[in-house]
Every structure is written in structure tokens, then in C-alpha cells.
Structure 1
Amino acid sequence: MLRCERNAAVQNNPDTTLVTPDAPIHNVTHGGRAKCLQRLARLDLPVPTTVALSFDAVQRIAKGHLPDIDAILEQFPQDALLCARPSSQDPDWGGPSAILNIGMNDARHEALRDTLGTDAAAAVFTRFVQSYAIHVDRLDPDMFDTITGEGSAALADVLDAYQHEAETPFPITRAEQLAGVLKSMARAWDGTSARLLRQAKGAPVDAGLGLVIQQMAFGVGQGECGSGVLQLVSSKTGMPQITGRYLRQSQGRDALRSGADSVFISRDDRGPSLEDSVPDCFAQLVAHATLMRERLRAEMQVEFTIENGQLHILDGVRVSRSSRAAVRIAVQLARDGIIPRQEALMRVEPNALNELLHRQVDRHAKRDLLGSGIAASPGAATGRLVFSANEAQASAARNEDCILVRRETSPEDIRGMHAAKAVITERGGITSHAAVIGRGIGLPCVVGVGDMRFQTQLGQLQTKDGRIIKAGDIVTVDGTNGSILLGAPETLEAALDDAFQDLMDWADAERDIDIRANADTPADAQTARNFAAQGIGLCRTEHMFFEDGRLTVMREMIFAETSDDRRAVLDRLLPMQRADFIQLFNIMQGKPVCIRLFDPPLHEFLPTDRDGQRDLADALNLPLSDVTRRIESMMEYNPMLGLRGVRLGVTVPEIYEMQARAIFEATIEASRDGDPVVPEIMIPLVSAKREVELVRTNVDAVAAAVATERGAEFTYRLGVMVETPRAALRAGDIAQHCSFLSFGTNDLTQMTYGLSRDDAGRFMSDYVRKEVFVEDPFHTLDIDGVGELLKLGSERGRATRPEVTLSICGEHGGNPESIKFCREAGFDYVSCSPFRVPVARLAAAQLAIAGRIT
């Protein structure tokens, strides 16, 4: 038996209190709805009488301790009907369904028949009985399916059905009904499914629920009666637009119900509107909404009821908004002086900017899901399926949009990726080749698609439900959430408008860490420049060799037998590299450009299929057997830990010498007509001080030779990419020979964990689900393990060389959590994919603002 706490509900009681302008109501104790209603009361808006129950009071109700129901009811007129609504701390956390018309019984029904009319009174009573049965007593809603008609006869049938199912008559007193509603709502909040649902939305485990009990304002009656919602902006774009719906003879949010015969709010050529029929109420509504925007400092959706021509404001909630609308709303509030710019920055979730930077599938579009995988690169694209890079290039030549499907991509697929609109791979993780390149060039990408069968030889995919999707079929890739959809659902274009630009400008004024971009080509650099990156933090030069006209030359160099032969071939690649670097320097206009010397194993540039090997034999005028034998001899069991990076620079120094010459000659050319260029040369995969000494000696020699030949002076900075655990541990020794240490967290994570970043996607979801890892360490920087190496490396490096520049250039560089770590560790900048630069700029600004607040 539930016990009552007598005399608990009195005005200004902290747990059950009448909502007044000075009542002790707070968002953290009573929830957002209760606090909003108090603010509306302070604005002297026509809000019905309301009592708020605190989180503690609701917890006690769930444990069987009711407040004094009679004392609560004394706050309302004796004949008033009531509604109960949830009031969680964050509206996005949800809560149990609202219950309207508490207090309806035979006596109230009879009284309302005289004022509302027979049918309207019966409808109010019927609605309450059904709502009470389903939400309070948890009875099967199907029990009402056989009841037809309306009015008094239908009401009688509903009451009979209730009594038959519940085995007790419907409760008749307002106190009994309210007690049942409060118990039901309090216990529903603690239900397992409700708890999991709100935790998925970011609510803490111990999130509390408040309740508000409000006097009903009838939206049904014989005069002008109805209910609806109004807002002053578009939820999709954030632009000013009076929108909403109004439904005559309705209650609550009936106007938004699918199929409701509701009308427009403002005057509209498509049909009748509230503005036409009740202009006075419309004008009052707009005035109230405008006042709420100014005083509550947010765009609000106003829930209202009109009762016999009189307007009542029942509630105000933040306008539902897309990411692009969130940016527009926050910026406009700041422009209007309602909130400061710093608060506008804090109101936008950094990752939400992806919706502005890339085309997106409309959230309201119908989706025919074929399969899903890891959302590796955001955005949406539609096209015909192709299964090879050559087919992708052929489609692009015909101006046909295509989606490239591969088991996994390799550097040889880069040209096909540039030609495609999106990429799907069977294998791979968040830092796989397809994912990294996709993010770099803004290409939607879904990797690790494990719920589809890739039949690449047949040119088709098979879904879980047995459907066959063939080459040429149209699909849509949603790289934002990892979905592959059949057909072409409606999409929304990217929107880098004036609001976005203002937000970015404000972010730059606040942040205290630099943001650079990883850019491998002039096109990538231009994207980075467009997004106001402060330089290039990582240019992976090997990607330049896969462009048309270069790959064959590169392969010829690989097949060269002697150092002199290699130099002769590299001399043909030199002007190509030099031209690339000149373009990069000119695009960045004096901003720093960090160029990583050649990194991948050479066999990645060689064809693996028979047809490709035959073509290579023809191009090099060699017997096919010689080509095949040479390729087989270069294969390694574990190439990512083999002859690559600085190991190539030490054993095949001609490659690095050619690249250094191309960098220095480009430096001289680009500095003639623009700002002086100070290139940064980065040595990859270092693990020992001696490696740096050897490469530095060669690079310095090339620099001296170029300066003498050209009669020009220039400066440059040389550093290393710290991506092996040993390099982090020995950073003190290595830093003696370096101007900068740039931590490559992709490989560093791979080597620290002993995980393949290309294959870990196969089991990573199981590891995260079973809490082996809190999160995929290739997606979110592992602060405890990899982060410890970053701290050790940075501390030891600066202990030896205090002025050494510290940065990270792995894919973690664009994550807000990683930026937070880097700021606290004293890093100078982070570098990320070009399309992540705006995200990083905003995240850095928010961290700086939060740091000043605390």
C-alpha cells in the first residue's frame, strides 16, 4: 500500500511546488519543462496553473511514497481537469507519455455536456479512459479495436471494455486518477527499455525525472477552440519562417498527428490558416514567441490551446533542428545580441558540422537498407555500382555517377576513387586505406560491410535477405551513418553559407591551438585552404605517383637494377614532383607545408593481377616471367612492418634525394612571387636516432647543392613522424636532430595494440560491445595507452629540445577528444583531413572557452 506524505504540496515547497515566478524550481532539480514554465510565468504569459514535482519527489513515488494528493489538488479549482507531463533535465532524454483530462468522470461528463456539447464531452471522456487504460494500467490497446462510432454510445462501450479487462470499474475521483498517473509515470522512467533509450541519447545513468501537473485548457468546445504549435524558424534550415499547425476541436499535440485535418499557422496559398481565421490569437502567438526567443535566449516551439477564442500557452520547447539549422539559429541569436558569440559556439556540436560540409540523405526520406558497415567518411552519394577502378574512370568519362565496390582498396585504386562518388569495401576499419583517402577528398565511404556478400568476380552484391544487387544498379552510400541504400532517396546539399562562415570566424578568434590539414594533392590543399587550415600538417607524397603518366615511370624505377639506373628514372619523376610542390606552396601562400617523404613498400605500386603484369611487361619491354618473378621477390609477409618509410630512405637513398631536390627547387620557385616558403620535411617510421642522422646528412647535402646551383638561399625544417613506440620512448635522442615531432597516431595505435588497422574492423564492434575497449582506438585516441606514449614522447623531446614543435597528424587529429588531449599536453597543432578542419576549429574553440570558464 502506498503511503502519503501529508501537507507536502504547499507553495514554494522544494519538492512539490506551485509554479510561480519566485518558486524554488531549477533545471537540475525539477527538469527543463518545469523551469521553462516558470520562465513563461515570469514573462506574464497566459500559462495555466501548474504544480511541479521534483526529481526526488518522483523517485519517492516510484518507491511507493506518494505526496499529499489532496494538497496538490487544492492548488486547482475543484472542477478543473488536469494533465500530467514529464520534465526531464534535457528534453532530448524523453520521458513517459503525457496524460490529459485527469479528473473526468460521470459528473464532469454531465457538466461538460452543457458547455461543450454532447459529442465533444464524450470525446474528452473517451480519450481519457483509453489513455489511462493503456499508459497507466498497461492494458492491451487492442481491447478498444472493436468499438465503433462516437459520442455517448462509444463512451459507454469504452467504459465497459475497461471494466471487463481491468476487472474493476474505472476510477471516478480526481485524486485516485492522479495518484495512478503519478505512480505509472514514475515507474515508467525506471523501466529497463526507457533507461537504455535515454542513455543512448547521452543521459547519465542516474538521470532524474520531474513531473508537471497543469490545469487543462480545453481545445474543444462550441466557440473557437483548438490546439497547435508555432515556431519562428524552419527546423530544416534555421531561416526565419513562421511555421506550425493548428487543429480545431483538438487537445495536446493532435495538430501534428499524421492524417490530422490541421491547418497552417500563417497565411498560406495552399489552404486555410490560423492567421486567416483567428488573426488576434495569431498576432498574440507571434508576439509571445518573439518574447520567448528574446528572454529565454533560444528559438522555441510554442504549444498552445485556444478555448472559446482565448489563448493559453501550455509549454515551450526548443525547436527541433537539423545540424544546419542549429548553426543558423545559434549564429543569428548572437548576431541579434541575444547571446554572446562564445555561447553561440558552445551551442553547436562540432561533429554536426559534417551535415553542412557534405551532402546528406534527408532524415525524412524513405530508406531501403541493403547493408551497413563502418561509417568511415561522411556524406551521401548516389550512383551505379562498379567493381573496379578502371570501370569507375570509364563511368566518369561518360559523366555517369558511380559507386566503387572493392573488397579493400589499395593505392592502385586511388584514380578510381577520385572518379567515383562513393566507395564501399568489404574489409577495413576507420583508418583503412579507403577510409583515410575518402576523408581526405570528401568521398563518402562505408568500410567493413560484413552483412553483405561481395561477389566481385560476378560483379554483384548479395544482401542478408537474399537480394542480388548487380553492377549498374543504382545505390546510395550514406557515409555518415554507415548505410548502403537501394535507389536514390532524397538528399540535402551541403550548405556552407554565411552563418557557417561567421561561426568559423568566431571559432578562430577563440581557439588557442593551430589546425592544419592532411593534404596529398593540390586539390586537397585547395580544399584545406578553403576551410582556412593554417597549413598542411601531412602531405603523403606517394599518392602523387599514382596519377596518370607517373605510375609506369615509378614502376620502371622499381625495376631498375642499379643506383645509377634508379637516378636516371627518378630524374623523369623530379619535374612532376617539383610541379606538385610548387602548386602546394602557391595554394598555401606562405603557410607551413609539412611533406612526408616516401613511406609505403614499393610492391604496392606493382600490379597483382595477371593482366596488369602483362601490361607492365609490355611497357617495360621485359619478358612476362621476369616481371612476375621480380614482383614475387618483392612481396613481404608483413609489409607494414617491412621495407618502408625511413628504411627505404636508408637503403634506397635515391628516392629521398629526388624528393628533397624537388622540394627545395619548388621552394625557390614559389618564393619568387609570393611569401617566402619554409618547407617542413618529415621522415616517416623512424625508430632510431641513427636513421635520422643518415637521412639528414643526405637532405642537407641536397639543400646545399640546390642553393649553389640556383644561387638562392632558403631555409627548411626537418622532423620525424613518431609512429613507432620506440620513437616515442627515444624521443629525447631523436629530437636532437629535429625541428618537429609529429605523432602519426594511425600507425602508433596499430603498433601499440598489435592490431591491423585494416582488419580490426572485423571484430572491433564485438570488442567494444563486450567492453574490452571503451571505443575503437582507431576512431578515438586511446588516452591511457597510446596517449601515454604521446606524453612520454613530447616530454622527452622537449626536455632535450625545448623549442621542438609538437603535433599529431593521424586521423585522430580531427576528433574533439583528441584535440582536448593535445591542448593539455602542450602540443602546437593538430592536423586532420581537410573536411575535418572546420570540426577541429570549432572543437578547439569550445575547449578554449570551457577552459576560461573553469
Structure 2
Amino acid sequence: MTQFPATGHAETSGWCSTHDPETGERRTNGRWLEGHAKDDIRSWLSARPIHDLLELDPRLWKRLDALATELEAGEKAPVQYEFEHDARGLRVVRVRAARLRPRAHVTAVHDLALRHVVSSDEAVLMVSPQQIEACALPTVTAAPDALLGAGLGVSAGVVRGRVVFGAQEAIEAGNRGDRCVLVVDDVRPEDVAVSDHLVGLVALRGGATSHAAVVAKGIGLPMLAGLRDATFDAAKGELTVGDRTVRRHELVTMDGASGHLYFGAVPIRQEQVPARAGLIAWADRHAMARVTANADSSKEVHNAIRLGAQGIGLCRIEHALAAAGAIPLIRTLTDEADPGRRAALLDQVTEILTHHLMEVLDAASGAPVTIRLLDIPRHELLDAVAAADSPGVTPAEINPMMGTRGVRDLLLHPDIGAAQVRAIVRAHRKTCTQPAATIRILVPMVAFPEEFRAARKLIDDVVADELAADSEVSVEIGCMIETPRAALCAGELAAQADFLSIGSNDLTQFTMGISRDDALAGFLSAYRERDLIGADPFVRLDEAGVGALLRICVEQARARRPDIPISICGEHAGDPRSASFLLALGVDHLSCTPGRVPLMRFTAGRATLRQSSLSAGSRSRRPC
């Protein structure tokens, strides 16, 4: 802020801003009053709009407008200035950055670049990723008594819908033409499978990186989890939060960003900010990291590519199976011992997956697609219907998130793994028009190099069996870094893998000993309220702990193989601050939910530009 001495004897005083504080439109605005303005709010109560001077004193108005342009060019930013005017002339008392809403700031900075007050590169650095993000979010304007309850916003979006309490209810209501918000205790694959009938999802349990939250973000379904002080009775058709109740088929509004749930239809405001696209395009020119998307269906892939994704960095087999309604097949297959029936079930899985993956690959239109093999904990295979009929039914493992999943499942049930690989290869053969295509397969939950070596041999054998000897198709097999041991042994894994992909959700869970599914509903909220922990570590990367582990991981991998691609596909890839930290470590691919692709394109380009700017500044300060 620049400040000049005030005389205290002005005939006219006031303030001017170069841009509209609400819209960011370039027009001089502000307030003025007769006499000298004192430094308190009361002196401005009688102030009049600055545009009144256009008729009352056109000459002064013209000088104020010209001064706004001059100060803006000098500061190279949207400015607000205070002035005094009397017989001796016009004086500037104070100049500071204009106070603009995030959307207005984006529009104003874009305008400065278009008028060549700043360069496009300077414009990118003047805007934060958070301001870019704010441009895309709808807002709710509701009275305080409209709030029903609050939880954790895990998938952004503001929607209105009628409350239902089960997947079948959602189907029936959706068929009647109702827009539905599904309320459940904990989300199961069956609930996500009816997403076409939903506008929103509310879970009493869960967290930002629970599997349900990950799926909801991927398909763009607004969701809030961990609804506080809430209970529901599906039989009675009632959701109670504290002492307030909403009943089946009553209308609610939910905000998946803030985690707020409201009674009835509250006002929603969605503003279009065209300048946002221009700034993202300018940032794109500098990005060194590729931005891809986590997408499991053709619809999600289409959306990701439309939003500028450079491919699909994570397509999850279990989500593909859930979308096809084939999770019951996997449940049956896991326990089936009869060789004949097991072979028939495996053929069904291969056929379903092949068809689904063909749709995914077609939607990608030649962009690279990385397909992760099955990673589904045993408790997520437990049949919800059977569990309801038999309350004593429990998962075979006490701690299934650390049990038989990922590569462990692959090695213990190699026939199920082979069925997945066959489906991947066949889908590629039927959709790919390029003779020298690349099949990308990702192995999850690796802890030991020996595990990955065994998994790689299994995959290579199936691929060799499926492809002709003279095929030009190449196969890239990647290793996920989700366990602390894998991060510490990244050098050995880099020697065997074609690429590494950091699964930061599970890595955070295992490193910190915090459940990714329901910790926020337990102790984590209390910890945050007492300032024992900062941001939710599943939303913002824990740089001191998990970040330190990833620094070792990247350094070891690069030391062994300097050119190995390293991506991150956890939810932290969609958080600008976390992503900036990871890019600085040497991660060169970000894979996020489709809706966050534009934001992360801006973040990646801005991070490169900022680093270049810092490096240039350091060189210019170097002594001769």
C-alpha cells in the first residue's frame, strides 16, 4: 500500500476502484463526499456513488478515471485509491490493492492481460488456484434456520432433491421423475450403482477418501459424509440431526463443498466466469507435468477429456465391475471351489470387463489409459442383503483394509488376476487402431519387490498368451506406492516397474495410522477443534510426515532410474497446495477426478512458471 499525506481541508474526498468488486468488470467505481473524509465508518455513511460526478463535475470525473488507469498501470494490478480534491488540485492519499471477490479478481486480472497492462505470464502468477477454484463453485444463500446439519463436504456441487433411504427407493423415485438425495449409514457398491437416479449422496459415516467418496467425485455426484449428530430410521423414513427431523420424500438442498444440508429449496447461485478458461490456457503453455484423470466409465472419460485431461491415469477394475453390477460375481467367485463353476464365473468376469473397458478405451480416443487391477477389501465384498438378514455375518478378516487385497489377492487367486488381464488385452485389441499401441497395467498394494516381480510374471504370461508373437503392442506395468515399505524401497521397485503411481490415500492411512473411511467422524474432528492437527490429512497432504516419506521415495526412484515416470493418483493430486509440494519433489504426473482437471492444469502450469520466475530472480541477484 502506498500512502501520501492528507491535507484535511479537501472540498471533495472519496475512494475509487479500477474494477467492480463483485464482477471484476473494468469500470471506475467508488464513493465520494463533500469535505474531508475521516478514518471512521461514520464519515462514509453520507457518501454518494462516484458515478454521480459524471453529471455534477464531469471534469473531475474524467481526471479520476484517468488517474485510476494511471495507477493501475503503475501498480500492475487492480487498485483502489483514496483521493482529495480542492482548488489546488487532485491529490492521491492512499493506494492499495483493490478488494475483489475471488471471481472478480480472476476477471480483473484477465482484463489487465488483455489490455497489456501485465503479461499473460504475470497474470497467471497473480491468480491463486483457490481463486480459480472459486469460479467454478455454485453458492448457497440460505437463512441460518434453514440449516439441517453439517458434515464433511467430499464431492462439490449444490443440488436439490427428495430424501430416500435405499438404493431400491432411489430407483423407484427416479423412475417417477423425482430428483433424489440418498441418505445411508455407510455407502456400499449397490448405492453407487444407482447414481443415475441420484442428484446427491449423504452418508452418516465415511471420510474424504473413502472408496464411496472417491467414486462420487469421479462421477461428479455431490456428496457429504460424516453428518454430525445424525441418526436415521429407514423403516420410519426419518433422518434426525440433533433435534430436527426430515422425512422420506421431503425436499432438501445439499452443498457437497461445504458439507451443509438444508431444509427445502434454498436459493442457489451459479456464476459463469469466462476469464477462468483464458487463465488456464495461459498456464497450460508452461506445464511440465501431465494432468490426467481418475475415471472408471466411458461417461467419466468423455468428461475428463473434454475438460483437458491428457489421458486416464487411473481406471479402477473394481469400480468398473460395480458400475456393471458385477460385484456379486466376485463375491461368488471368491468362495467358489468347484473348478467347472469357477471357470464359468471367470469367463463371465472376463466378458463383462472386456465390454466395459472397450467403452472406456473408445471414449479415451487414443489417449493413454492406465488400468489398475482389482483392489477390493474383503469387507466391501460382504453382501449387504445377507448381512442384514444375518447380523452375525462378518468379514473373514478383522482388519480388511490391511488384509487380502490388491497384489495379495492377485497372487493368492491368480485365475481372477488372469481374467482381468485377458479382459484388458482383449479390450485393447478390439478398440485400438494403432498397431504399436501401449497397454498400461497398474499393480496395487505392493509392499515387497518380490510381490511385484511375481505379479509382473503373471501379467506377462497372460499377455504373451493373448497376443500374437509378431504383435507390436507393448505392455507397461506399473507399481503403486501405497504402503510405507514400498515408499522406502522405491529404488528396488523402480528397477522392475515401468512407472510408479503414488496412491496417497492409502499411504496416508497406513503412515499415520488413521482410517481413511471414518476417522473424521471419530477422533479427528476433535483433534482439529483442539488444534492438535491442522487440515484433514486426507485432503491436504501431511508434508512433515507423509511428505518426508515421499521425498525418500522419489529420490530413491530417480537415483535408480532418473527417467522413470512418477505419478500421484490419490485425492491429494486434486488439491493445489499438496500437488505443488509433490511437483517440487519431482512427481511428473497428476491424476485427479475429472471435475478438478482444469484446476490442476492451472496449478501445474503455474507451479512451473513460479519456479522459473524464482530461478530467474535468483540468477539476477547473483553477484558478478
TM-score band w.r.t. shorter chain:
0.7 to 0.9
CA drift at 1:528? 1.8
Instruction: Please state if 1:490 is matched with 2:267.
Output: yes
Aligned to 2:488: 729
Counterpart-to-counterpart distance in 2, 1:256 and 1:438: 50
Q: Which moved more, 1:659-668 or 1:842-851?
A: 842-851
Specify which of 403, 406, 417 is matched with residue 656 of structure 1: 417
Could you say which residue in structure 1 is the equivalent of 2:24? 238
1:636 is matched with: 397
Query: Measured at CA, do residues 699 and 386 of structure 1 come closer, stay the same or move farther in structure 2, by a change above 3 Å?
Result: same
CA contact (8 A) 2:10 2:36 kept: no
1:560-601 Cα shifts (integer Å, max 9, x gaps): 433442332232333432233233333333332111101003
Residue identity opposite 1:589 in structure 2: S
* Identical amino acids, percent of aligned pairs: 34
Describe the superposition over 1:538-581 as per-residue Cα deviations: whole angstroms up to 9, x where unpaired. 11121112235545545554454334423322323334322332
| Correspondence 1:224-373 to 2 at 5 A | 230-241=16-27, 243-244=29-30, 266=51, 273-303=52-82, 315-361=94-140, 368-373=146-151
1:594-633 matches, cutoff 5 A: 594-601=370-377, 604-609=380-385, 632=393
1:394 corresponds to which letter in structure 2?
A: E
AA of the residue aligned to 1:475: V
Q: Which residue of 2 aligns with 1:176?
A: none
The alignment status of 1:535 with 2:306, answered yes or no, reads no
Rounded to whole Å, the distance in 2 between the matches of 1:252 and 1:455 is 60
Contact 2:382 2:395 in 1 (8 A): no
User: Aligned residue pairs: how many?
Assistant: 613
**Aligned to 2:162, what secondary structure does the other structure show?**
strand
Would you say 1:685 and 2:445 are equivalent positions?
Answer: yes
Q: How far does the alpha carbon of each residue in 1:87-142 deviate from its partner, in whole angstroms, 9 at most, with x for none?
A: xxxxxxxxxxxxxxxxxxxxxxxxxxxxxxxxxxxxxxxxxxxxxxxxxxxxxxxx
Q: Is the 8 A contact 1:378 1:480 kept in 2?
A: yes
C-alpha distance 821-390 of structure 1, shift in aligned 2 (>3 A): same
Q: The residue matched to 2:441 in structure 1 has which SS?
A: strand
The answer to whether structure 1 residue 780 and structure 2 residue 540 are counterparts is: yes
Going from structure 1 to structure 2, the CA distance change for 1:736 and 1:296 (only over 3 Å counts) comes to: closer
Question: Does the 8 Å CA contact 1:681/1:717 hold for their aligned counterparts?
Answer: yes
Write the mapping of 1:432-471 to structure 2, written as runs, cut at 5 A: 432-464=210-242, 466-471=243-248
The answer on whether the counterparts of 2:373 and 2:444 sit within 8 Å (CA) in structure 1 is: yes
How many angstroms apart in 2 are the aligned matches of 1:726 and 1:695?
Answer: 17
Alignment CA distance shift 1:360-1:415 (3 Å):
farther
Amino acid at match of 1:410: R
Match of 1:14 in 2: none
Q: Flag the 1:479–1:319 CA change in 2: closer, same or farther, 3 A.
A: farther
1:435, distance to aligned residue in structure 2 (A): 2.7
Change (3 A) 1:765 1:292: same
Q: Deviations over 1:35-55 (max 9, x none)?
A: 1x45xxxxxxxxxx43xxxxx
Which structure: larger Rg?
Answer: 1
- Distance change in 2, residues 1:462/1:846 (3 Å): same
User: How far did residue 454 of structure 1 move?
Assistant: 4.1
Distance 1:246 1:388, change over 3 A: farther
Deviation per CA, 1:321-353, whole angstroms, max 9, x where unpaired? 333222222222112111122221122221233
Unaligned residue ranges in structure 1 (runs of 5+): 1-31, 39-48, 51-75, 77-214, 220-226, 267-272, 614-627
Contact 2:253 2:261 in 1 (8 A): yes
Cross-structure match for 2:209: 431
Partner of 2:277: 501
For normalisation by structure 1, the TM-score amounts to 0.65
Give me the whole-angstrom Cα distance separating, in 2, the residues matched to 1:494 and 1:415.
31
Shift of residue 682 of structure 1? 0.6
2:223 and 2:149 map into 1 onto residues whose CA distance is: 13
Question: What letter corresponds to residue 238 of structure 1 in structure 2?
Answer: G
- TM-score of the superposed pair, with normalisation by structure 2: 0.87
Q: Is the 8 A contact 2:436 2:472 kept in 1?
A: no
Name the residue aligned to 1:401.
Answer: 179
Task: State the one-letter code of the partner of 1:653.
Answer: P
**3-state SS of paired residue (1:716):** strand
Q: Cα–Cα, structure 1 residues 796 and 385, in superposed 2: closer, same or farther, change >3 Å?
A: same
Local SS of the residue matching 1:667: helix
Shift of 1:649: 1.0
- State the 1:354 CA deviation: 2.6
Find the counterpart in structure 1 of residue 621 from structure 2: none
Distance apart, 1:642 and its partner CA: 1.8
CA RMSD of aligned residues (A): 3.4
Q: Deviations over 1:143-198 (max 9, x none)?
A: xxxxxxxxxxxxxxxxxxxxxxxxxxxxxxxxxxxxxxxxxxxxxxxxxxxxxxxx
Deviation of residue 683 (structure 1)? 0.8
Higher mean displacement: 815-824 or 754-763:
815-824
Distance in 2, matches of 1:316 and 1:367, equals 41
Amino acid at match of 2:316: R
Note the C-alpha offset of 1:700.
1.4
Measured against aligned partners, the alpha-carbon deviations of 1:740-797 in whole angstroms (never above 9, x if no partner) come to: 1212111111111221111210221332344443433222222232223323333333
Q: Where does structure 2 lack aligned partners over 5 or more consecutive residues?
A: 615-624
Alpha-carbon contact 2:387-2:394 (below 8 Å) kept: no
